[in-house]
Amino acid sequence: MGNSLRTKDLSKIGYTNDKARSLAINIFNKHFKYHTKAEQLHTLSSLMDRPEDFLEDDVLGKLAEVLTGKTKEVQFSVHALRESSVPLKIYGGKEIEALARRQIELAATLPVSIAAALMPDAHMGYGLPIGGVLATKDAVIPYAVGMDIGCKMSLSIINASESYLKRYSFQIKEALKKCTHFGMEGGLDFRQEHEVLDNPLFRAMPLLKQLHGKAIRQLGSSGSGNHFVEFGEIELFEHNTLGLTPGKYSAILSHSGSRGLGANIAKHYTNIAMNTCKLPRQAQQLAWLDMHSEAGEEYWRCMNLAGDYAKACHDQIHTNLVKELGLEILYKVENHHNFAWRDQMKDYGDVIIHRKGATPAHEGEYGIIPGSMTAPAFLVRGKGNESALFSAAHGAGRAMSRQAAKDSMTVSAMKKVLSAAGVTLVGGSVEENPTAYKEIEKVMMAQKDLVEVEGKFRPVVVRMNKE
């Protein structure tokens, strides 16, 4: 490969120690193979100049130890769980698997927990279940935010009637192919620019410095799995508060997160949390960072940057599509559903609320709750229910694992289901077939106390990653 490092490249930038050179080549050929040689050498130069800054780094820490001659000392604290749990409210309990319940019950016994809630789309995850909401005091739990930090929904109502989708279906499909990119690697074929890439944190923090090149390449792209970009028809109801005339409109709906940037931040700080906060084995994934510690403050800054980056990706997707098709955005609604926020609760004052696969639903707050590639999505407004920690479901929730979904349906059977629903799929895989998800209408029924429905979106052309 043209970007593989050689010993002479390292010698030129001051790497004279054979052990350091050999370790650098192994690390960079494994973990940085998609970075250009210039990016790799830039990171190695930064490491040579200030190796002590990299001692905590999951990937580069070993090389930093060789260069400084220091082995990082890990200070850790040991914590027991509470004997009884903090207040925990479960919505739509009949439809929720026992493993997800057990996970939220365990989280409710952490010594830093204040209150917990489980949304009706919940299913098992790592640490906190998907659909789990947890309020803590002065602590942030990387695995309660999740791997895809800032994963979110974005809805643009556009200046086209519902008939536009039929008349221009070919142009829509071509625009989706040109203006979106799915999958773990790569990005769009045309250059993307956004002010988020100029955030000074990219220069100030070694972890972010080495992720900057990837963030540039992946801007405006989407992940794999259940991430999508789709065109559809939205009906705004009589009582909607958007200021738009009730009726049917065309709209763009997207679901994705912070790409490699968020995943690397999550991995890095989860490792720090697990090394510094020792819990009983069954709860170790719920290790937290003290908000007043250096690592806690760093994670918070990185998490917020990943959230801004996820928003920037959606902004680029929607902007590129409307520009390509000569359309305009009339109204935009968006919400994160893998994130942590500073908030206030009546009896507890300042808290950190983690939502892992849950939609913020403070009073009057807008959100989008999608179904599946054939089921509707709902435009909602929060009711501010404190026992739900001001939250609602983030979607229909999986009814079966990806493997089970794969085993339960053939490609031709899925084509029939899509055809019957009047949906065109570009890409996609049977792992995401509609039967893999719970019924969105049931999920919505279970959270009538949490949100008011203001509009209903029906997918027409759906773009997803082809596994």
pLDDT per position as a tens digit, 76-95: 899 999 999 999 999 998 88
> Which helix (DSSP H) or strand (DSSP E) does residue 116 occupy?
strand 113-123
Would you place residue 71 in the very low, low, confident or very high pLDDT band (cuts 50, 70, 90)?
A: low
Residues 150 and 24 in one domain: no
Average pLDDT estimate for 140-169: 95
Average pLDDT estimate for 21-44: 88
Residue 3, pLDDT above cutoff 80: no
Residues 21 and 151 in one domain: no
Question: Of 28, 47, 68, which residue is a domain's last?
Answer: 68
Mean pLDDT (the chain) is 94
The whole-angstrom separation of Cα 238 and Cα 250 is 17
Tokens 């002010």, residue? 195
Could you give the number of structural domains in the chain? 2
Judged by DSSP in three states, 26 sits in helix
Strand bridging mode 391-393 / 358-360 = antiparallel
In sequence order, the 6+-apart residues with CB closer than 8 A to the CB of 92 are 119, 120, 121, 122, 442, 443, 446, 447
The number of beta carbons lying within 10 Å of the beta carbon of residue 247 is 13
The whole-angstrom separation of Cα 117 and Cα 134 is 7
Torsion of CA 106, 111, 117, 120, to 10 degrees: -20
Domain for residue 132, yes or no?
A: no
Closest CA to 252 of 187, 175, 310, 308: 175
Residue-range definition of the domain harbouring residue 53: 7-68
Residues 58 and 167 in one domain: no
Domain for residue 52, yes or no?
A: yes
Question: Of 35, 68, 101, which residue is a domain's last?
Answer: 68
Please compute Rg for the chain using Cα positions. 23
Residue 219, pLDDT above cutoff 70: yes
Angle (nearest 5°) at CA 229 between 223 and 231: 175
pLDDT (tens digit per residue) in 235-281: 999 999 999 999 999 999 999 999 999 999 999 999 999 999 999 99
Residues 326 and 204 in one domain: yes
- Residue 30's pLDDT is what? 84
Q: 416 φ, ψ to 5°?
A: -65, -45
Question: Of 26, 43, 68, which residue is a domain's last?
Answer: 68
- Residue 69's pLDDT is what? 83
pLDDT (tens digit per residue) in 176-205: 999 999 998 889 999 999 999 999 999 999
Residues 31 and 170 in one domain: no
The whole-angstrom separation of Cα 21 and Cα 9 is 10
Strand residues in 282-376 grouped as ranges (E)? 289-290, 329-336, 338-345, 349-356, 358-360, 366-369
Residue type, 119: M
Domain for residue 94, yes or no?
A: no
Torsion of CA 415, 421, 427, 428, to 10 degrees: -80
Residue 441, pLDDT above cutoff 80: yes
Residues 299 and 409 in one domain: yes
Tokens 């773990």, residue? 184
Residue 236: strand pairing partners? 247, 455
Domain for residue 33, yes or no?
A: yes
Residues 384 and 235 in one domain: yes
Residues 323 and 459 in one domain: yes
Domain for residue 83, yes or no?
A: no
- Residue 352's pLDDT is what? 98
Residues 159 and 37 in one domain: no
| Sign of the C-alpha dihedral computed for residues 117, 94, 449 and 334 taken in this order | positive
Domain for residue 164, yes or no?
A: yes
Residues 171 and 59 in one domain: no
Angle (nearest 5°) at CA 142 between 141 and 148: 140
CA distances from 40 to 4, 209, 248, 259 (A): 9, 11, 51, 20
Are the CB atoms for 351 and 79 separated by under 8 Å? no
- Residue 163's pLDDT is what? 87
Domain for residue 101, yes or no?
A: no
Residues of the chain with pLDDT > 70, as a percent, come to 99
The residue count of the chain comes to 467
Residue 72, pLDDT above cutoff 70: no
Residue type, 17: N
Domain for residue 286, yes or no?
A: no
The whole-angstrom separation of Cα 242 and Cα 235 is 12
Are the CB atoms for 59 and 27 separated by under 8 Å? yes
CATH number for the domain harbouring residue 198: 3.90.1860.10
Are the CB atoms for 394 and 356 separated by under 8 Å? no
